[in-house]
Amino acid sequence: MGGHFDTNVSYLNDMYKKEYEYWQNKLAGAAEKSCFFAGAHDTKAEELRMETADFVLPSHCANRLVQISNHSDGRLHVLLLAYTAVLLMKHTGQTDIVLGTSIYRQQANEEFINTVLPIRIPLTNEMPLLDVITDVRQTVSEAIEHQNYPIELILKNAKQPADFLDVSVILANIQELSYLDRASSNLILAFDRQHDELRVRIHYNALLYQKEQVERLVEQLSILLEHSLDNPRVPLKELSILTAREQELFARVNETAVRFPEKATISSLFEEAVQAYPQHTAVVFEQKRLSYDQLNQKANQLAHCLRERGVTAESIVAVLMPPSVDMIVAILAVLKAGGAYLPIDPDLPAHRVEYMRQDSQATYVVTLQAQSLASGFADVIFADDERLNHYSVANLEPIHQPNQLAYIIYTSGTTGKPKGVMIEHRNVVRLFFHDNNRFAFSCDDTWVLFHSFGFDFSVWEIFGALLHGGKLLLLSNVLKRDYRQLVQRLREEQVTVWNQTPSSFYQFIEEELKQPDKKLCLRYVIFGGEALLPAKLAAWHDKYPETKLINMYGITETTVHTTYKEIAAEQIRSNEKRIGVPFSTVHLHILNRQGDVVPTGVVGEICIGGEGVARGYLNKPELTAERFQLCQLGGQMQRLYRSGDLGRYSSDGEVEYIGRRDKQVKIRGYRIELDEVRSHLLTMEGIQEAVVMAREIEEDGKILCAYVVMKEEQAERFDPVEIRQYMQTRVADYMIPSFILLLDKIPLTINGKVDDNQLLQVEFRQSGKRDVVQPGTELEKQLAEVWGKVLKTDSIGIHSTIFDLGGTSFDVLKISKELTDQLGREVTVVTLFTYPTISMLANVLEAEVTTRKLQADARLDSIEDGKKARLQKLRLLKK
C-alpha cells in the first residue's frame, strides 16, 4: 500500500507545485475543527480507542438517496458528505465545515503518495440544500484531481494539527477504511450500499464519544433526510434535526408564562409590606435595628429630599455607601422618588468610580458625609444629614411605572470598561411574586445581605426580605470573612434564608460543622454566581436534611435568577452539575451560532427570554443589539439575551452548565472578563504584552493568573507587587490577579492563538527585582516562621510567595494545616492562593482579628449597658 513520500518538503513542493498551491489556497483560514458534541468532551484526547456501532438508514431514505444519485456511488458519496456537513452545522452553527474522506479505491499493487482528502464545505443558513450538494461535488472533484500530496504536509502547511479531520465520511463500495488511518479521525461514518439498502458502520473514539451519542447522530441524520430529500431547494435554516419528542420536551419545559402583579413596582410592594407588618424588624446592622415603619419613614424623608432636588422617573441616582442601615434607606428612597439606583461600593478604586459616574451620566449621589469619592457628582445628598429629619415621613405620590428603571448594575466588559445593565421594576417584581412560585418566603424569614450591593445577588437578598415582611441582616465587610463569627451571628439572628456562592459556602460548611451540637435555623440555602459541586454538600446535608438546597443559575442581564434546581441526596451522590429548569416567567433555549435549537445532549449557547430580560446596556445601543436579539423560535419572534454561557439539555428537560464560549469567568461569584483585566495591565508602563486566565487550584477553586511580557530591555523592571498595587487603582480587588508571572514571550499554537495548555504548565513563580522586606508585625513573623519551617529556608520576605521560595502545591497544603493549627482558625488552600504573599495574608488575618475584637467589645458594652439598665430599674422600684 502507498503512503510513503519523500521527506524533502521543498522537493515535494516543486514536484507537486500545482497540488501544493491548491491545498494552500483551499485550506487558507480554516481555523476551527469540525466535530459533533463539541464542548461536551475533550477533543484533544491523546489516543484513539475505536469502537463500532452498526445501523441501517430508514428504507425510504435509502431508496431516495440511491434514486437521486442515479445508482452512481460517486454521486452517493457526494450526497453523504453534503448531508454530514449540514448535520454538523446544525450541531455547532459552524459555517465552515471540514470533513475527511479518502481517495477512491486503488489497485492493490499500486504505490501512491496520499490516501486522505480534506473536504472543505462553506455553508450559510440561506443556502438551498441543492447548492450545498453542487459545491461538494465540485470540491470532491478538485480534491481527487490534486490528491497526490501527503495529508501530513497538507495539514502542516495549513497550520493545522494532525487530528484536524475529526469527522470523516466514506462509502465502502468505492473507498477503503484503511485509507483513513493517517486522518486520525475520532468519528468515521462508513456507509455501505447494498442494492437499495444503505447501512452505516460508525467507528468512534470511545474516549470521546458515547454509544448513545452515536445512536442519536444516526437518528438526527434520518430526520434531516426525511425533511429534505423531496425538497432539495429548501434553505438550510428551515431544516431541523429535532425529534418529535425533543420538540415536545422543549415546549413543555418552557411553559413558564404565569401571572404576576404587572401593575406593581418595588416601592409599592414595599409599602404594602409596611402596612401589613409595621412593627416587624425590617433591617439590622450591628447594634442598629429599624422596624418597617421606621425604615419607611426614613426612606420617605430622603425620597422627599430627592424629589425636591429634581429626581424624577428614571433619574439615575448613585448610592455610594458601605453596608449600613443608611444604605438600605437610600436604595428605597431612590425607588420611592421614581429614580433608578446605581450601587457603587466605596471600596472600588477611584478610577472605576469615576468611569461609572461619567458613563452613567449620573448627577445625583446619595452618600455619607465622610465619603470623599462623591466629590465628582454635581448634586450630593448626605443620608446622615440631620436636616433630613425636617422632611415629611408620608409616602410619596408614585410617578414611575412598572416598565421604568429600578436599578443599574455595572458588570465586567470585554473592552476593558464595565457596562451598565438596565433593570426595570417589573423584572424584579415577577422574580418574587408569580403563580407557581417554588418558594414559600414569609414575614417570619430572616435574610442576610452577604453580597456587595453592586453584585446582583444583593437584589434577591434585599427585596426577598423587604417585600415579604421579613428581616434583613446586614454584615460588615470584615465579618463576611470571619466564618467563625459569621456562623454565630446567623445563629443569634435565627437566619432562615442564606444566599451563597458555592466557593463561599464550602468554607462556611467547614466552620459550621466544627460545632456539631449547635444548629442553625435555615430553611433555604440558595446558590448562585458560579458552578456548584453537589458532592461538597454531603456533610451539610447529613446534618441538615430538612434544609432545602437550591441551585439557581442566573445572569445580571436576566435579573438575578434564571433556572431552579433543588439538590437532593441523589444529586449529591452523583455530583451532577445541573442547573435545573427555567424559572417561572422566563424561558431558556440552547442555540447554535445560527440561532437554531440544538438537540438534547448537544452543547450550545444558553439564551434566555421572558419577563426577566433586562432593557439592555446603558448608553451602548450597539452592544445591546448584539446581545439582546430578536430570534424566530416556535413560529414567533422572541427577544432573547445571548448569554455567552454554554449548556445542554438532558433528556429529562434539565439543563447542564458547561462553561463559557469566551474569556469570561466567575470567581467567588463575581463575573470577570479576562480581557478587561488584560487591558488594564497593558496600560502600565513597561508591560509589552499580557494574558490573563483562570487557573483551577482545586476542584471548583479558581484564581486569576496574569502572564506578562515586559518591553524590550525592561525585564528587570518586572515587579509583581508594583503591578498589583497599580491594578488596585484601576479595578476591584476581586479582579486583581493572585499571581503575576513573567514570560519571555506568550506561547502560541500553530494557529497563532494563545496556547493555554503551555501557560498552565508555567510554575507559580513571580519573583521580581524587589528587595527582600523582612517581616515587621508579630503576625508577619509568625507566618514567616511557619513558611520557613515547611520550606526549610530562613530568607523569607513579606512580598515573596510560597512558590518564589521553591515551594510546591504540596507545601501549600502543609502550610495551610500548620497555620490552622497554630492560629486556631481555618486558613484554607484557597486563602493562601488568593492572598499569596505574607503581607497580603497578614492584612486579611489581622482584619479578622480586628473584627472579632470589635464584636467582643460591642458585646461587653451591651452587657454593661444591660447591667446599668437593671440597676436603674432597681433604684426606681425602691423609690
Eight-state DSSP code of residue 750: T
Amino acid (one-letter) located at 537 = L
Of 417, 436, 455, which one is at a domain's C-terminal end? 436
Note whether 151 and 16 are same-domain residues. Answer: yes
Domain containing 804 — which CATH number? Answer: 1.10.1200.10
Specify whether the CB–CB gap between 450 and 443 falls below 8 A. no
Note whether 37 and 176 are same-domain residues. Answer: yes
Q: Say whether pLDDT at 778 is over 60.
A: yes
Specify whether the CB–CB gap between 130 and 233 falls below 8 A. yes
Residue 162's SS3 state is coil
**Distance separating alpha carbons of residues 733 and 321, to the nearest angstrom:** 17
Q: Which residue has the higher pLDDT, 392 or 670?
A: 392
- Containing H/E element for 790? helix 778-791
3-state percent helix, strand, coil for the chain, nearest multiple of 5: 40, 20, 40
Q: What pLDDT, on the 0 to 100 scale, is given for residue 416?
A: 64
Q: What pLDDT, on the 0 to 100 scale, is given for residue 750?
A: 46
Domain containing 423 — which CATH number? Answer: 3.40.50.12780
Across 109-113, 350-354, 373-377, 790-794, least confident range: 109-113
Taking residue 774's Cβ as centre, other Cβ atoms within 10 Å add up to 12
Note whether 129 and 217 are same-domain residues. Answer: yes
Neighbouring C-alpha atoms within 13 Å toward the C-beta of 573: 3
Specify whether the CB–CB gap between 579 and 596 falls below 8 A. no
Average pLDDT of the chain is 87
Note whether 161 and 273 are same-domain residues. Answer: no
Residue 534 belongs to a domain: no
Tally of structural domains, the chain:
4
Taking residue 326's Cβ as centre, other Cβ atoms within 10 Å add up to 22
**Closest Cα partner for 154 from 186, 120, 122?**
120
Sheet order of strands, 419-424 included: 379-382, 364-367, 316-320, 340-344, 405-411, 419-424, 616-617
Q: Residue holding cell 414595599?
A: 270
* pLDDT confidence tier of residue 38, bands split at 50, 70 and 90: low
Rounded mean pLDDT of 365-388? 90
Rounded mean pLDDT of 372-395? 92
pTM: 0.78
**Distance separating alpha carbons of residues 728 and 352, to the nearest angstrom:** 10
**Distance separating alpha carbons of residues 698 and 812, to the nearest angstrom:** 12
**Closest Cα partner for 128 from 234, 240, 228?**
234
pLDDT tens for each residue of 211-255: 999 999 999 999 999 999 988 899 999 999 999 999 999 999 999
Note whether 218 and 302 are same-domain residues. Answer: no
Neighbouring C-alpha atoms within 13 Å toward the C-beta of 165: 28
Note whether 779 and 729 are same-domain residues. Answer: no
Q: Which residues pair with 343 in a beta bridge?
A: 319
Of 703, 736, 761, which one is at a domain's C-terminal end? 761
Residue 468 belongs to a domain: no
Per DSSP (E only), the strands in 216-325 are 281-285, 288-291, 316-320
> Cell triple for residue 595?
440561532
Specify whether the CB–CB gap between 244 and 250 falls below 8 A. no
Q: Say whether pLDDT at 613 is over 70.
A: yes
Note whether 732 and 829 are same-domain residues. Answer: no
Note whether 217 and 87 are same-domain residues. Answer: yes
Q: What pLDDT, on the 0 to 100 scale, is given for residue 42?
A: 43
Range of the domain at 701: 664-761
* pLDDT confidence tier of residue 374, bands split at 50, 70 and 90: confident
Q: Which residue has the higher pLDDT, 657 or 364?
A: 364
CB neighbours of 504 closer than 8 A, spacing ≥ 6? 450, 668, 669
Where do the H-state alpha helices sit in 493-590? 502-512, 538-543, 569-574
Q: What pLDDT, on the 0 to 100 scale, is given for residue 413?
A: 67
Note whether 727 and 856 are same-domain residues. Answer: no
Q: What pLDDT, on the 0 to 100 scale, is given for residue 827?
A: 84
Q: What pLDDT, on the 0 to 100 scale, is given for residue 267?
A: 97
Q: What pLDDT, on the 0 to 100 scale, is given for residue 39?
A: 56
CB neighbours of 324 closer than 8 A, spacing ≥ 6? 285, 368, 474
**Distance separating alpha carbons of residues 647 and 208, to the nearest angstrom:** 18
Note whether 226 and 275 are same-domain residues. Answer: no
pLDDT tens for each residue of 272-299: 999 999 999 999 999 899 999 999 999 9
Q: What pLDDT, on the 0 to 100 scale, is given for residue 542?
A: 94
pLDDT tens for each residue of 496-517: 999 998 878 887 888 899 888 8
pLDDT tens for each residue of 521-532: 999 999 988 778
> Cell triple for residue 639?
427577544
